[in-house]
Amino acid sequence: MKKLVIYFTMLLLIAPMLFAITLLDTREILVNTQVPVFGTITLNPISQSANEGMPFDITAADVDWDSSAYDSKSGRHIANWSLEANMLLASLEINATPLTNTTDYSQSLDYFLFFYYTYYVNGNTSSGPSTGVFEVHSGNESCRITLSDGPYYSFNKNINFMFDEDAAPANMSDGSYVATLTITLTEGI
């Protein structure tokens, strides 16, 4: 019985110290693991003018397939996009449906979209941002772009449009053509 009382008394003395150690660990873990995350994607279509915007004539030269224009990722400037996200790893799920005649769904054309963006090499902001570009081809399935060097702040950069090499807009019927572009930003890759 005497031993039991001694053990119990020792336990009561040690318990507050253990609790203090636990609290210390708590603080350390919270500081190191809490990262508030935010992200925003913005699309701004451009209204039609002589050299850019929508709607555009599908037989115009600036949207027609051209290998040199494809290499330089030019095409027609139809919209701007912005990306702001403070996450380190991010993914863009991009879906661009084929450009389809609004009255005859059998008539559709595939195309490329060139997305321009700015970034800092290795996150170093001491020098000006670099410019990059990635391309997305239209289709029924989404294209996934992974980003692994956040944070990302790219504002109001071009989205350029160009038909792919199989498209034959001259053979299409008269009428209006529409497609839908959807971009989803998620954290992680």
Partner 1 sequence: MRKLLTLAILILVSISFVSAVDDSSVASMEISAYKDTGEQQTLPGKILKIEPLLSEVLYSSKYTPYDITSSASINNGTASLSNVMRITMGANTKANFSVDVEFTPFISAENGSKIPATYTFTTTADAKAAYQPGNSDPYSGTKSNRTQYQYEYTPSISITGSNVSGSSISVPVSGTQITILWKVNSARRRQRTGNRIRWSNWGNYSNYSLSNISEGATLEGVNSEEYYPVASATFNLSVSSFSSMDPNVDYIATIRVTVSGN
Interface residue list for partner 1 (CB under 8 A): 18, 21-22, 25-26, 29-31, 33-45, 47-48, 54-59, 63, 78-79, 81-82, 84-87, 96, 99, 125, 151, 153, 155, 161, 169, 172-187
Cα-based angle 76, 77, 82 (whole degrees, multiple of 5): 150
Least distance CB 176 / partner 1 (angstroms) = 5
Which C-beta is closer to partner 1: that of 57 or that of 149?
57
| Residue nearer to partner 1 on the CB measure, 60 or 133 | 60
CA gap 60, 7 in Å, rounded: 90
Which residues on adjacent β-strands are paired with residue 154?
83
Nearer to partner 1, 1 or 170 (CB): 170
State the sign of the Cα–Cα–Cα–Cα dihedral 45, 110, 138, 68: negative
| Closer Cβ to partner 1, 57 or 164, answer by number | 57
